[in-house]
Amino acid sequence: MQLILKNDADKKGRFKVNELKVQLIEWRHYLHAHPECAFEEAGTAAFVAETLRSMGIEVETGIGKTGVVGTLKVGNGERVVGLRADMDCICLQETSNLPYASQTPNRMHACGHDGHTATLLGAAKILSERKDFSGTVRFVFQPAEEPGRGSRAMIEDGLFERFPMDEMYGLHNMPQYPAGTIAVREGGIQASEDNFIITLKGKGGHASAPEIVKDPLVTAAEIICALQTIVSRNVTPTETAVISCTEIESDGAHNAIPSNVIIRGDTRSFTPEMSQLIEKRMEAICKHICEMNGLECEFTYTHEFAPTFNWKDNVQYVVKAAKAVVGEEHVIENCPPTMGSEDFGHFIQNVPGCFVFLGSKRDGEEAIPLHNSCFDYNDDILVTGAEFFAELVRERLVKV
């Protein structure tokens, strides 16, 4: 689909879409070739800061270690809108053979954060040149989204005290939606992620004599199966939760029953209450099954990502801006939530806001999923995302 922007600025004589696209592709390809992982984004942050300053935007760096905040004030409007992009890559070896493929071993933009960063830079360029709003825009470039640490690092570093915002918006590319589609929903759009470690301490021995050991491996199997009853028997069927045991590690051998077993995994849900229910039930199940089998148990449960919960009014602002940019037929107003997690959730626990999906699937091509070693951001949606952000600012900071 070759998407025609409803807000094609060529018609206004202010900005040539093709020129903007060339610039955004250049920025995106540079970022793709120079990926940096969580809290390592010094080069990316420097590039972002330099690019923003070239537009006449005020810049502060080192927010939450490697975060960047740009501030653009136009007119005398008092409202402040925040726009956010994530900058970090993941630790993965790229296998794409693109001419701008990663130049750093075991580092790759396999989730599209290079595209998100270029998109927000594009929005900054549009807004700084058009100046067709009245108020203040904060361009927030966040580090360490992948491990779920960057938003909290920026918040703890005084993000909202130093750079007050009335509302905040973010986006993520989504390969399962057609290119240029903008999808959103009120309420939970992405789940929380909690991690757990269950350590079972028994008494190992020879595989031929199970009667004289305290077998943590059999106990681990009981626990793994029992944990699935939490969702099926403790969660209301109309609510959503996931419990996944993803790793099991032991100190045994093919002819030796182990003394210790470690189970690792994560859980997903959409409310703090559900997260607390899962944690409480998991701990009780692990404790009592171990007690029944004569084993010791250590249970660790950590809250990594907050759920991303869109505010009702802000969803409506997003829908209006999206329709103005891509047309009503390319806007999904009540998309299904995903069980994936997004670090943006912590931001809109502090201020009203909304997170959206920007479709990236190319016509006639099989979508390459996020976090795949051949993933590449679709350059055709860069201008769409930038224009969407710019339109959202104009909608919220109307020039009187």
- Work out the burial of residue 121: count CB atoms within 10 Å of its CB; fewer than 13 is exposed, 13-18 middle, 19 or more buried: buried
Cβ count within 10 A of residue 221: 14
Residue 143's nearest CA partner among 2, 43, 22, 263 is 43
* Terminal CA-CA length for the chain: 36
**Cα distance between residue 117 and residue 26, in whole Å:** 12
Residues 6 or more apart whose Cβ sits within 8 Å of residue 215: 202, 257, 293
Annotated catalytic residue 8: no
Q: Which of 40, 41, 86, 145 is catalytic?
A: 145
What element of type H or E holds 296? strand 296-305
| CB 103, CB 49: distance < 8 Å | no
What are the binding residues? Answer: 111, 113, 146, 172, 371
**Cα distance between residue 64 and residue 42, in whole Å:** 12
Annotated catalytic residue 145: yes
Q: Which of 88, 114, 215, 387 is catalytic?
A: 88
**Cα distance between residue 202 and residue 139, in whole Å:** 53
Cβ count within 10 A of residue 9: 18
State the DSSP string of 127-180.
Answer: HHHH--S-EEEEEEEES-TTTT-HHHHHHHTTHHHHS--SEEEEEEEEEEEETT
Cβ count within 10 A of residue 217: 17
Paired tokens of 283: 């701990």
Paired tokens of 250: 């032991």
**Cα distance between residue 382 and residue 115, in whole Å:** 7
What are the binding residues for Mn(2+)? Answer: 111, 113, 146, 172, 371
Residues 6 or more apart whose Cβ sits within 8 Å of residue 393: 81, 83, 123, 127, 133, 137
Q: Is 173 left (phi over 0), alpha (psi -120 to 50) or beta?
A: beta
What order do you get walking across the sheet with 296-305 strand by strand?
241-250, 260-269, 192-201, 296-305
| CB 142, CB 343: distance < 8 Å | yes
Q: Which residues are designated catalytic?
A: 88, 145
